[in-house]
Chain A
Amino acid sequence: MTGVEPIDIKEKIQAANAEAFNRIVSADPVLVDIRPAGEVVPGLEDRMVLHSGPPVEWRNMSGAQKGAVIAMAIFECWADDIQSAEELLSGGGIKLESNHHHDAVGPMAGTISKSLPVYVVENRAYGNRAYCRLVEDQQQFGNYHTEAIDGLRMWRDVWAPSLGQGIRHMGGLSLKPIIAKALQMGDELHNRPNAASAIFAGAMGVPMIESGVTTTDLTSTLSYISGHDLLFLGLAMASAKSAADSARGIEYSTVVTAMARNGYEFGINVSGLDGDWFTAPAPAIDGLYLPGYGEGDGGFDMGDSAITETVGWGGFALGGAPGILSLVGGTPEEALNYSREMREITTGLSPDYSIPALGFEGTAVGIDIRKVAASGTLPIIDTAIAHKNPGHSIIGAGLVRPPMVCFHNALRAFAAKYGLG
């Protein structure tokens, strides 16, 4: 017989998945700084824009992601206007690479370029770092107009430097206690990070004052952070990325280490198949739309924010966050069932992150491609909706599941790599 004895490989997979699960749940994310991406993100070059999801060429990019990349070209002063930015991009004048290839993540279009400050989160349990950009409701959805780019400028020039000064003054901010507390306060940390955002905003005032942030910048920054319900999503994503990355590259592990979308394709990474993307066309989102928009306007699924579901938050913790249902649709009972359903396809329950509505049981962690394929149950992701065309802000929110073919193709690759032919 060629290949590995079946009993042997089952044991190896079980041990590898236990290791992946332990690394994810023991992650200890600490916000250590907020810095321009060009100073901290590995491999980020000049004239390069990082984007969400698996790698995608300019010609295949979704409308919203194209809009967001155009905005970054104007933000970086590589182009003066929309038309010249489009010409530059069409001619290959700007390199486009996946955030995930640079230890980074970004919401929706997810665009990161050298001057844009990013959260720097260190996983103190494993020693790795992950990066995420700010969250807002305009440019990351493909809006390339002046008001959207002005938001990035305020982040670059005032808010990020002020927060970064406060963070450095306090010697870093441990995020695990905030995440645990927020899950008990009705957050799922993806579409609803409201409680975590309020806790984070509350933690930043004194350090910014003590570190000497000027009154003008302090007032502007306090106003920004205290009125931004989605503020913490960038920190949740960086925390999740730092946890998921620590579980990459464990031989024989069938645990998913990333789920990401770019509006063109949905892609997953698997620990024991590190470096490979398993992709399929991005699905449509079942959701609710803001006034003036409808299903015909929506682009396909987009964003790196599904890294939160990858580590057991977001849709996986929906049962504890009924408040989000007014945004994404559904009933509280359905939300509880989603959280219960995710236990069928995961490796275990988090010992630290629990859901009060489920008897304080832990969130389901460690998506196993074998269990997904065998059960037919796909991960549930709650997400926002961007327009199908460039130039728009957020238009809605809803629920989505990955295409099953991603998991089937990963299993085929696993069989090939580990000699199960």
Chain B
Amino acid sequence: MESKTAIDKLLATPVAAINLGVEDFADNLESQGAWVVHVNWTPPAGGDPEIIAILDKIL
């Protein structure tokens, strides 16, 4: 099957990852030899839906 081939190919190549948010995940991958780009990201307004709704109207 084509999907199985794609997964096989993916797993057979070195891991390259873009990590969003928690930096520990990037550190863990990097310590295992993976190529990682970490993006320092947090949800807007800390994920608070009420504040996000207010900001949507005024920002």
A376 neighbours in B (Cβ, 8 Å): 42, 44-46
Asked if B12 CB lies within 8 Å of chain A CBs, one says: no
* Cβ contact within 8 Å between B51 and A408: yes
**Across-interface contacts of B55 in A (CB, < 8 A):** 370, 373-374, 411
- For window 21-59 of B, CB contacts with A under 8 Å fall at 42, 44-46, 48, 50-51, 54-55, 57-59
Interface residues on B, range: 10 to 19
Q: Which residues of B are found within 8 Å of A404, using beta-carbon distances?
A: 46
Asked whether any CB of chain B lies closer than 8 Å to the CB of A10, the reply is: yes
| B57 A420 Cβ-Cβ under 8 A | yes
Is there contact, CB below 8 Å, between B45 and A373? yes
- Chain A residue nearest to B43 in the complex (CB): A376
Q: Closest residue to B56 on the A side, CB-wise?
A: A6
How far, in whole Å, are A161 and B39 apart by their CA atoms in the complex? Answer: 57
Chain B residues with Cβ under 8 A from A346's Cβ? none
* Across-interface contacts of B54 in A (CB, < 8 A): 411-412, 414-415, 420
Shortest CB-to-CB span from A367 to chain B, Å, is 14
For B54, give the chain A residue with the smallest CB separation.
Answer: A415
Contact of B58 with A420 in the complex, beta carbons under 8 Å: yes
Q: Is A79 in the interface zone, CB < 8 Å from B? A: no
**Interface SS of chain A:** helix
Give bound CA distance, A156 to B53, whole Å: 53
The interface residues of chain A lying within 8 Å CB-to-CB of B45 are 373-374, 376, 408
Residue of B nearest to A10 (CB): B58
**Per-residue B-contact encoding for A355-391, CB less than 8 Å = 1, 0 else:** 0000000000000001101111000000000000000
Is A9 part of the contact surface with B, judged by Cβ < 8 Å?
yes
CA distance A404 to B57 in the complex (A): 20
- Pairwise interchain contact A9-B58, C-beta atoms closer than 8 A: yes
Q: How far is the CA of A404 from the CA of B45 in the complex (A)?
A: 9
**Contact present for B58 and A13 (CB under 8 Å):** yes
Bound complex: CA of A231 vs CA of B54, how far in Å? Answer: 43
Contact B44–A374 (Cβ < 8 Å): yes
| Contact assessment for A412 and B44 in the assembled complex, using a CB-CB cutoff below 8 Å | no
Minimum Cβ distance to chain B for residue A30 (Å): 36
A139 to chain B minimum Cβ distance, whole angstroms, is 39
B59 engages A374 (CB within 8 Å): yes
Set of chain A residues within 8 Å of B44, measured between Cβ atoms = 374-376
Residues in B with CB closer than 8 Å to A371 are: 59
A101 CB to nearest B CB, Å? 28
Q: How close is A375's CB to chain B, nearest CB, in angstroms?
A: 8
Which residue, A9, A404, A411, has most C-beta atoms of chain B within 10 A? A411
Q: Contacts of A374 on B, CB cut-off 8 Å?
A: 44-45, 55, 59
Most buried by A among B42, B44, B58: B58
Cβ B51 vs Cβ A373 within 8 A = yes
Decide if B51 touches A411 in the complex (CB within 8 Å).
yes
Closest partner residue, chain B, to A3 (CB atom): B57
Query: Which residues 310-351 of A sit at the B interface, judged by CB distance below 8 A?
Result: none
Inter-chain contact B50/A412, CB cutoff 8 Å: yes
Give Cα A317 to B47, complex, Å.
30
Chain B residues whose CB sits within 8 angstroms of the CB of A6 once the complex forms: 57-58
* B59 and A370 within 8 A (CB): yes
Q: Please tell me if A354 contacts chain B, counting CB pairs below 8 Å.
A: no
A254 within 8 A of B: yes
Give the shortest distance, in Å, between B40 (CB) and chain A (any CB): 10
A375 to B45, CA, bound (A): 7
Docked-complex contact B57 and A9, CB < 8 angstroms = yes
A415 to B57, CA, bound (A): 9
CB distance from A249 to the nearest CB of B (A): 19
Taking the nearest CB of chain A, how far is it from the CB of B20, in angstroms?
A: 14
- Binary per-residue interface labels of chain A (379-421) against chain B in the complex, 1 for a CB within 8 Å, 0 otherwise: 0000000000000000000000000100010011011000010
For residue B11, give the distance in angstroms from its CB to the closest CB of chain A.
Answer: 36
Return chain A residues, CB-CB under 8 Å to B58: 6, 9-10, 13, 254, 370, 414-415, 420
Give Cα distance in the complex from A408 to B50, angstroms: 9
Nearest neighbor of B44 in chain A, beta-carbon distance: A374
List, sorted by A's number, 5 A–B pairs whose CB atoms are closer than 8 Å.
Answer: A10-B58, A10-B59, A370-B58, A376-B45, A412-B50
Q: Give the top 5 A-B pairs by smallest Cβ distance, nearest first.
A: A370-B59, A415-B54, A376-B42, A6-B57, A373-B45
Interface contacts beyond A370-B55, A408-B48, A411-B55: sample of 12 additional A-B pairs, CB < 8 Å, sorted by A:
A6-B58, A10-B58, A10-B59, A371-B59, A373-B51, A373-B55, A375-B44, A408-B45, A411-B54, A414-B58, A415-B54, A420-B57
